[in-house]
Each structure stands twice: as structure tokens, then as C-alpha cells.
Chains A and B, each alone.
Chain A
Amino acid sequence: MAKIETRDVNLYYGDFHALKDISMKMEENTVTALIGPSGCGKSTYLRLFNRMNDLIDNVKIEGEVLVDDEDIYRKGLNVDELRIKVGMVFQKPNPFPKSVFENVAYGLRVNGIKDKHVIEETVVSSLKHAALWDEVRDKLHKSAFELSGGQQQRLCIARALAISPSIVLMDEPASALDPISTAKIEELIHDLKKDYTIVIVTHNMQQAGRVSDFTGFFYMGELIEFGRTVDIFTSPKKHQTENYITGRFG
């Protein structure tokens, strides 16, 4: 059973046909990179999995989107529960105007967890999991804004991990970071793979090559090619993929 699967998904923003017949399967504990030029639909596709597109007016979705074999667009589905299972990290670090500790504890508190020990343990383990603990253990009660950009992004990852998702969506998580912070995020993605299924949108082709097991190339709302990253980057089957990854267009 695939962890995530889409079957013939079409998505429209009003009259604009943003995703066209997308079928794809993502296995558990893998990293899938979505690449393609701006406006190709890769972020729209990513946002299907935690129903973020629902927040946009005039969106129409056809086809099936399955997480753990369950249709997440079926009537009566609890979206809050879905978003516990499917965490998300955005392009720019967006910590809350709270302390480092409270940023990570926030998700637990809004989900009704009150036990101080459980919260403390989860905050520490999430920060460790996000490879940030050693850098912030003495700053837990300082404002999250005092951290560097790279640290803030790992804090956001820790925040996403605190509520124990099984899927983590990342929308260009390192595009606003310097090379050292980017390397840390990439190492983190690699480490997280053993516990999570990760889907990452990236404009950085080398990053897709470094961190992902599978790559999907989107162009004008279509999934042109999907396969093992090593195959896509050494011998793509489609000319459009070849042209895009070699920089001939896009």
C-alpha cells in the first residue's frame, strides 16, 4: 500500500486548469521531490495532501487523493486530524512570536495536551529530531526570532514534528537559507526519512538530486515524468525532463 496516492487528479482555480490527470504513488519512508518551472503546479499538488487548497476560493478538485489508503477529500473527513498526520514546512521560516519552547509546544497545547512532562519530553525530542537541540538548549525561553534563519526553519520543522505526523510536506524549505543552513536541512531530511514520508517542492535541482529517492517533474499542470531520482537525473525518458534539468528551458 502506498503512503500517498493520487488517481487522475484534476484541480481548477476557477477556469484555470492547474493540475491535469495526475496519478502518482509515494511509498512510506521515502523522500519525493517535485520539480518544475514556476507555475507548473508542483506546490498546488503538494498542498493537496493537507487540504491547504481548500482555503483558496473557487477551487475545484476531481479524482482521488489517498493517504494511508483513505480518501482525504471524502465527505465528513476531519481536516484537523488530517493536518496532525500531515505536517508542513514552508519556504520562509514562520515561527510564532513566542519562545523557542512555546513554538514547539504550541501544536500539543492546541490539541488538548496539558501534561507538563509530556509536553517537555515532546519538545525536547522534537528539537533533537530536528537537529536543533544542541544549539537551543540554553535558549529555550528566548524569543524564536533571536534564532538565525536556518535555526528558525529547523524550529518550524521541530514544531511540525511535535504533533507526530507521519508525512511531512516541505515547500522549498531551504530556498531562503545560506549554504550551511541548507546543508543542515538536507541532512535533516535524510535523517527524518526513516520515520516519516517526505514530499518536498524544490527549485534547486541539485538539492532534489541530493535528498530525494523519487522525483516528479511537472510542467504546465502535467506530471511529465516520475521515477527514481537517480534515473531522472542520469537518463530521463522524456525530452521535456531532459531539457528542464539540463537548463535548456524553464
Chain B
Amino acid sequence: MVTHIETELSNLKIDLNEMWDLVISQVKESRESLMNFDKEAANEILFKEKIVDVFELKLDRDCENIIALYNPVASDLRLTLAVIKIVLNLERIADFAKGIAKFIAKSPRESINPELLISAQVEELLTSALAMITDAKTALNNENSRMAISIFSKDSLIDQITRESNKIIGDYILKHPDEIDEALNIYTIIRKIERMGDHSNNIAEEIVFYLEAKVLRHNKAARK
């Protein structure tokens, strides 16, 4: 017999997966629109951002209702609490994708410095962030805490590339002071991608909390 709360939690997961797929597609599209400087694709991202917000509100309300009506405990409670936080982090990730899209859509330029994009490894960074978000989704659906924990090392890699990229951009500005605007735009984009990694990390922590009842926040030693 399936209990009411099982049905509710199963529906919650379905909606969460839909939101997750949308956020993954927003990040993927932001990568494509950036690399091709495609304003039309960027505008599409801006439009879809509103759907992400609707998902956030709906899932928040669903979690509130589950807590109020079904008094979840143990793993049910942990899942509900984890979903609230995962949704928050997914929404922030989508916000950063929107930030990248906004830069492209509103830019008066028709292209972005390809040489700097490549040397600053922007595409690699976005691909890594995308892998983290996708892995987190798989980890939750397969209830695989090892996979969730593996996300932390991917974030460290993003942090490392970010540091290298920042140095490359600094050097570029010194050599091309007339292109400082362009360089700073790329620096800002890298910051957004780095933040996407941080939010994916947060999601991974919530997945481990749900699956193992372990709190990894502010506890680097426990992540190994």
C-alpha cells in the first residue's frame, strides 16, 4: 500500500526533476549563446527564467504543505527539507545563467573576444559546472551519496581553473588596457560560473543530508 505521503513525495520529486532539467538546459543554453554570441538564444534564456521562478514557488509551497499536512519524519522529513534547499540553489544557478544571457542580449557588440574566451577556459568552466549540476540530479535520483560526494572535488577543480583564468585576464588587461571592458565582462562571467559550482556543492551537501542524515555544511573534513 502506498501511503499519502509517499505519493506526495513522489510528486515532489517529479516536479523537482522537471525544474532541474530546465535549469540544466538554461546553463547549457547560456554556454551555447556565450560561445556563439547568439542574442536570440540569450533572449530565450531570459524568457524561460520566469518558468524557473514559477517552479521555485510551486515546490516551496508543496514542501510547506507536506510539512503542514503530513508531518514528515526521518528520511521523509530530510527529503522535504533537502528539496527546499535544493530548489533555492537551483534557482540561484538559473539566475547566473540568466546573468550571462543578459550580458549577451543587452550587449551593443556583435561578438566577444574569442581569444580571451578560450585562454580563460570559459567553455571548460561552464561544462564542468554543467556536469556538477547533472551529476547532482543523478545522485539524488539514484540515491547515490558517493556520487554526490564526488561533486565536491569537481568544485575544487572549478575553483582552481577560476584562479588560473583570473590571472590570465589580469595579464590580458595589462597588455590590452584599451580592452578592459571586455576583459572585465569575461571576469564577471567567470565569477558567475564559479558561483554555479558553489551552489551545486550546496545541492550535493543536501543530497548527503537526505540520504545519510549527515550535515556536511561548514565541515570540510566530513566531505571525504
Contact = CB atoms under 8 A, between A and B. Distances in A.
A209 B77 CA distance: 13
Nearest to B212: A235
Contact-residue size bin, chain A (C-beta under 8 Å from the other chain): 10 to 19
A176 to B, nearest CB: 21
Contacts, number: 32
B10 to A, nearest CB: 13
A246 B72 CA distance: 7
Contacts of B76: 246
Interface string B68-98: 0001111111100000000000000000000
Interface string A239-250: 001100111100
Interface in B38-72: 71-72
B interface: dominant SS: helix
B75 A242 contact: yes
A236 interface: yes
A242 B74 contact: yes
Interface in A17-32: none
A248 B3 contact: yes
B184 interface: no
A233 interface: yes
Nearest to A231: B213
A102 to B, nearest CB: 41
Contacts of A242: 74-75
A78 interface: no
Interface of A: 205-206, 209, 233-236, 241-242, 245-248
13 contacts: A205-B71, A206-B71, A209-B73, A233-B73, A234-B74, A234-B78, A234-B213, A242-B75, A245-B73, A246-B3, A246-B74, A246-B75, A246-B76
